[in-house]
A and B are shown apart, each in its own frame.
Chain A
Amino acid sequence: MYKYDPIDQQIVNERVAQYRDQTRRYLAGELTDEEFRPLRLQNGLYIQRHAPMLRIAVPYGLLSSKQLRKLADITKKYDRGYGHFSTRQNLQLNWPKLEDTPDILAELATVEMHAIQTSGNCIRNITTDQFAGIAPDEIIDPRAIAEIMRQWSTFHPEFALLPRKFKIAVSGTEKDRAIVQAHDIGLEFYKDTEGQMAIKVWVGGGLGRTPILGTVIREHLEWQHVLSYCEAIIRVYNIHGRRDNIYKARIKILVKALGIEEFKRQVEEEWAHLKDGPLTITQHELDRVAKYFEPMPYKTLPAHDAAFDAAVASNPAFAAWVKRCVHAHRVSGYRAVTLSLKPHGKAPGDITSEQMHVVADLADAYSFGELRSSHEQNLILADVQLSDLFAVWEKARAAGLATPNIGLLTDIICCPGGDFCSLANAKSIPIAEAIQMQFDNLDYLYEIGDLELNISGCMNACGHHHVGHIGILGVDKDGSEWYQVTIGGKQGNDASIGTVIGPSFSAEEMPDVVKRLIEVYVRERQDEERFIDTVRRLGVAPFKAHVYAEKETA
C-alpha cells in the first residue's frame, strides 16, 4: 500500500498543527460556530446527538495492521472501545471529545492517517472496490490513480468550499462493486482498443434526497488526463452549482438542470484550457505511486489444498463460512476473506478495539499485514492461502467475526440513524437488529440466498436504501418514527433505484414486513432466481398485495 514520503508526512503534520490552532481559537471564542463548522467538518468532525463524531479517512479502503492497531488504541483511549466502519469505507468514532480531536489527529498522523476532507463541502475520500488488485475480473487496478487523485484533491485551493460535498469512486473491474453510478464522479477504468488504460467518466450520480444515477460524460479518457478532466468538471460545478438551497446543491441537480449535453459542452470547453497542462499525469509519477500497489510476494501454490477440501467436506459450519465469506482470488491457491461486521443483533459495521487487534493479528499472520474495508461495512483479508483458511476461520469465529452471512439478508447496510445522528427521522440500528433476529436461522438465510437490505434513518441516504434490493427509510410522521419500504433497488452495472411499496410502517411491524416480502419471493421465484430478479420480473404488485393483505381487511 502507499507509504508516506517526507512530503506526505509534513502535510498531515502541518494539518494537525493548523487544526489544533483552529480548535483552540474556537474554544477561546475567537471563531463562531458558523466559522468553525467548515473547518471541523473538513477534518471529519460532526457535532452529533450525544457527542461529536469523528470520521477518519481510510483512503480507498486500504489499511495496514499497524494502522488498525492504532485505531484500536484510539477507540480505547478517546472513545468507548469501539468504532464504526461506514459505507464510504471510513471509520467513525461516536464518542470523542471535541477538545481531544487535535490529539487524536496527531496520533493518526504517526501512522500515516488523517481525517482530511472526510466531511464538508469538498472532495471526499475516494472509494473503490474492496477487492482491487486481487479480483479475478479486474481489468485495471485503480488504486494508484486513486492515490494520485487523493493527493490532488487534498487541500485543493479551488475546491475547498464547493456548493456541496463531492464524492468520487473508481472501479477497474468487469462487475462494478464501487457503485460508480451513484457518485458525483464515477471513473470506470478499462483497456481501450490500443491496450491502453482508459477511463469512462460518469457524472451527476448521487443518492440522498433526490436519488439519481450518473450519466456518461465521456466514454474514453486517457488516464494522463484524469486530473485535468475532473478539474474541469468541478470548476464548472463550483461556479454554477446552486448555493441557495443545500438540497439542490449537488452536481446531479446542475447536470439535470443544464442537461448532460450542455454540461458536457461547458466541461469540454474548460478542459480545452487545462488539457496537456501541468495536471497531465506523467508516466514517472504513475510509476512512482504504482510501485506501492504491486502484487504481494505470493508463493507458487497449487489450485487445491487437500486439507482444506477435507475440512470443507467434514465441517458444515466451516463450509458455510467458506461459501459466504471466502472469495475468488486471481492468484492460484489464494483467497480473499470477508470478516463479517454484521453479527446478528449488533449494530452493522461496529467493531470493538479488541476485535481490531484480532483482525490486525490475522492480517499479519495470514495476509501480508494489510486489510481493506468495504462499502458494505465489513473488513477484508485480501490475500489468504487456502491452507490457512481454517485457522483464520477459527480465530475469526472466536472473535465474533465469522458470521457466515456475507451477501445475505442479514449483511445489512445501515446508517447510524437516530441513536447517534441529529438529522435522523428515525432510528435505524434497532431495525437492523430486529430484522437480524427475525432471520436468525442460517439455513433459512441460505435458502433465501443473495439479498441486499439497506437502511437509512432519513432521506440523506447514508445507508444507501435506494439501491438496496430491499430499502428501508426512516420517515417522520407527526413527530413519530415510521419506515418506508422500497424494493427493486440495485447497485452494480445494472444499478436501479427502488420503488416504494406503499404507506409506511411502525418499527414493530418492520421484521414482519420483511418476512412477508421474503414469503412472496420464496413462493414466486423460478429456478435460481435471486430476490432482485423476481422483483424485476414481477414488479411491486404481488409483494405489495401480501405485505398489506391484513391491513386492507382490518
Chain B
Amino acid sequence: MSQLIQLSANGQASIVADEWTRVVPPAPAEESVRKQAGKVVLFKLTGELTFTPEQIANTQIPASGKILVPLTVWQARKAELEPRLAAGELGIVLATHETAEALQAEFADLNSLPIIAIFVERFADGRIFTLGAWLRTRFGYKNELRAIGDVLRDQLFFHKRAGFNSFLIRADRSAEDALASLNDFSQPYQGGVADVPVWRRVNRA
C-alpha cells in the first residue's frame, strides 16, 4: 500500500502510487564525524546537520526514472543531473534549514521543477509550513509540493493550508487513516495559501 496522499486540483485527496524515487546520501562514516566534528559537520544557528562533500560525492543516483534529489547534491553534481531535469525526471528536496532563496538561485523558474519536496526530520519542526507558504506565495511555485520525512496525520491540515498538495506519510503509519485529518476543520479563521481570512471569505454580519 502506498504511503502517498495527493490532492487533486479540486482538493480531492486520494492515495496514489509514488512515481518518485528519493535519492538519499549515504550515512556519514561515523569515524570521520567524530574525528572532524566541528569541521565537517556544519551546524547552522539552528543546529542542523548538513551533508558532507564525501556524502554528496558518494550518493548513488539511479540511472533512470524520476528522482528526488537533495538541493546540495544538485548543487555539487549539476552537470550529470541537468539532462534529467530536461527530461522532467528531476525534483528537488529542500531541508527545513535550507532557504527558498537558495533554491531560486539554482532554478530561476521554479516551475521548471515538476516537484519540490520539503523534508522534515522531526514533525515538530514548524519551519516546513513557512517554507511551503513562501514557495507558493512569494515564489509563485505551482507544481507539486510534497511534505516528506516525519509526516504525520495530525499536522496534515496545516501542511495543506501552507500550500502542500502531496504528503508522504511516515512508513509506519497508515495513509488511509491519515486522510481523515485533512478535513479537521471546515471553516478556518485565518487565511492560508489558497484562501483569505474568514471575514473576507464569508459574510459574518
Expressed in whole angstroms, the minimum distance between the Cβ of A248 and any Cβ of chain B is 10
The reply to whether B124 and A282 form a contact with Cβ atoms under 8 Å apart is: no
A245 CB contacts on chain B under 8 angstroms: 47
B125 CB contacts on chain A under 8 angstroms: 161, 243
* Interface flag for B77 (CB, 8 Å): no
B197 CB contacts on chain A under 8 angstroms: 152, 278-279
* Interface flag for B158 (CB, 8 Å): yes
The reply to whether B189 and A14 form a contact with Cβ atoms under 8 Å apart is: no
Which residues of A (6-41) have their CB < 8 Å from a CB of B? 7, 10-11, 14-15, 18, 22, 31, 35, 38-39
* Interface flag for A242 (CB, 8 Å): yes
Question: With A7-B187, A155-B189, A158-B162 in contact, do A22 and B154 touch (Cβ < 8 Å)?
Answer: yes
Complex Cα gap A276–B186 (Å): 26
The reply to whether B133 and A14 form a contact with Cβ atoms under 8 Å apart is: no
The reply to whether A162 and B126 form a contact with Cβ atoms under 8 Å apart is: yes
A422 CB contacts on chain B under 8 angstroms: none
Cross-interface CB contact of B124 among A121, A158, A159, cutoff 8 Å: A121
Complex Cα gap A442–B200 (Å): 56
* Interface flag for A64 (CB, 8 Å): no
Complex Cα gap A20–B133 (Å): 29
Expressed in whole angstroms, the minimum distance between the Cβ of A26 and any Cβ of chain B is 11
Cross-interface CB contact of B129 among A11, A151, A158, cutoff 8 Å: A158
The reply to whether A35 and B189 form a contact with Cβ atoms under 8 Å apart is: no
Complex Cα gap A240–B198 (Å): 29
Which residues of B (179-205) have their CB < 8 Å from a CB of A? 181, 184-193, 196-200, 202, 204-205
* Interface flag for B39 (CB, 8 Å): no
Question: With A160-B126, A242-B45 in contact, do A155 and B185 touch (Cβ < 8 Å)?
Answer: yes
Interface string of A257-273 (1 = CB under 8 A from B): 10000000000000001
* Interface flag for A238 (CB, 8 Å): yes
The reply to whether B196 and A278 form a contact with Cβ atoms under 8 Å apart is: yes
Expressed in whole angstroms, the minimum distance between the Cβ of B118 and any Cβ of chain A is 13
The reply to whether B124 and A156 form a contact with Cβ atoms under 8 Å apart is: no
The reply to whether A288 and B205 form a contact with Cβ atoms under 8 Å apart is: yes
Complex Cα gap A10–B184 (Å): 11
Cross-interface CB contact of A278 among B43, B131, B191, B205, cutoff 8 Å: B191
Question: With A157-B162, A279-B191, A279-B197 in contact, do A7 and B202 touch (Cβ < 8 Å)?
Answer: yes
- At the interface, is chain B mostly helix, strand, loop or mixed? loop
B200 CB contacts on chain A under 8 angstroms: 278, 282
The reply to whether A11 and B185 form a contact with Cβ atoms under 8 Å apart is: yes
* Interface flag for B161 (CB, 8 Å): yes
* Interface flag for A443 (CB, 8 Å): no
The reply to whether B138 and A273 form a contact with Cβ atoms under 8 Å apart is: yes
Interface string of A138-181 (1 = CB under 8 A from B): 00000000000001111111111111000000000000000000
Question: With A7-B202, A11-B185, A161-B155 in contact, do A243 and B162 touch (Cβ < 8 Å)?
Answer: no
The reply to whether B192 and A157 form a contact with Cβ atoms under 8 Å apart is: yes
Closest residue on chain B to residue A160 by CB atoms: B158
* Interface flag for A239 (CB, 8 Å): yes
The reply to whether A240 and B45 form a contact with Cβ atoms under 8 Å apart is: yes
Which residues of B (131-152) have their CB < 8 Å from a CB of A? 131, 133, 137-138, 152
* Interface flag for A285 (CB, 8 Å): yes
Expressed in whole angstroms, the minimum distance between the Cβ of B136 and any Cβ of chain A is 11
Cross-interface CB contact of A157 among B46, B129, B199, B202, cutoff 8 Å: B129
Expressed in whole angstroms, the minimum distance between the Cβ of B196 and any Cβ of chain A is 4
Question: With A7-B204, A35-B123, A157-B190 in contact, do A243 and B154 touch (Cβ < 8 Å)?
Answer: no
The reply to whether A14 and B185 form a contact with Cβ atoms under 8 Å apart is: yes
* Interface flag for B130 (CB, 8 Å): yes
Complex Cα gap A31–B158 (Å): 18
The reply to whether B46 and A242 form a contact with Cβ atoms under 8 Å apart is: yes
Closest residue on chain A to residue B185 by CB atoms: A14
Complex Cα gap A159–B129 (Å): 8
Complex Cα gap A35–B205 (Å): 39
B127 CB contacts on chain A under 8 angstroms: 238-239, 243
Complex Cα gap A160–B46 (Å): 18
Residue of B162, B185, B205 most packed against chain A (CB within 10 A): B185
The reply to whether A238 and B45 form a contact with Cβ atoms under 8 Å apart is: no
Closest residue on chain A to residue B100 by CB atoms: A239
Complex Cα gap A462–B191 (Å): 33
Expressed in whole angstroms, the minimum distance between the Cβ of B165 and any Cβ of chain A is 14
Expressed in whole angstroms, the minimum distance between the Cβ of A259 and any Cβ of chain B is 14
The reply to whether A288 and B204 form a contact with Cβ atoms under 8 Å apart is: yes
A525 CB contacts on chain B under 8 angstroms: none
* Interface flag for A397 (CB, 8 Å): no
Interface residues of B (CB under 8 A from A): 43, 45-47, 123-127, 129-131, 133, 137-138, 152, 154-155, 157-158, 160-162, 181, 184-193, 196-200, 202, 204-205
What are 5 pairs between A and B in contact, CB < 8 Å? A11-B188, A14-B184, A18-B184, A279-B197, A288-B199
The 7 closest A-B pairs by CB, nearest first: A244-B47, A161-B126, A157-B161, A158-B129, A151-B189, A278-B196, A285-B199
